[in-house]
Amino acid sequence: MRSGQVFFLVAIAVGATAGWAYPAEDPGEIVKRFQQTEETFANPGKGWMTMRAMPDDTKKDRFPYSVAYFRLNWGDVEPVEGQCQWQRIDEPLRAWAQREVRIAFRI
């Protein structure tokens, strides 16, 4: 058999069985097809994250943040030995908590 004939027979076999891979939909099955959109959406815990210590209240956030992460240097919290400025931690925590955002920070 020539290669052209083999190819032809394989093509017929594939075409004849192609429908087996896609069985008919179950009438009780709910199928949801999504439409493309340009809007952003929240994906809590896995979606948008900001790395700002404080939220910017002067403008509406572009993305629906679900997580806020920020870093602090210990020298910012304790600029003079023995005199801690805990508000450097408390203020960002309070501000993000009001927005119901999960918070992670590092010192």
Q: Tokens for 82?
A: 């023995």
H or E element that contains 13: helix 3-17
Which of 63, 89, 66 shows the shortest CA–CA distance to 76? 89
CA end-to-end distance (rounded Å), the chain: 74
* pTM assigned to the model: 0.54
**What is the rounded distance in angstroms from the CA atom of residue 46 to the CA atom of residue 65?**
10
Sign of CA dihedral 78, 79, 85, 88: negative
Digit-by-digit pLDDT tens for the chain (107 residues) are 577 677 777 777 766 666 555 556 677 888 888 888 888 777 777 777 888 888 876 556 677 778 889 999 999 999 999 999 999 999 999 988 888 888 999 99
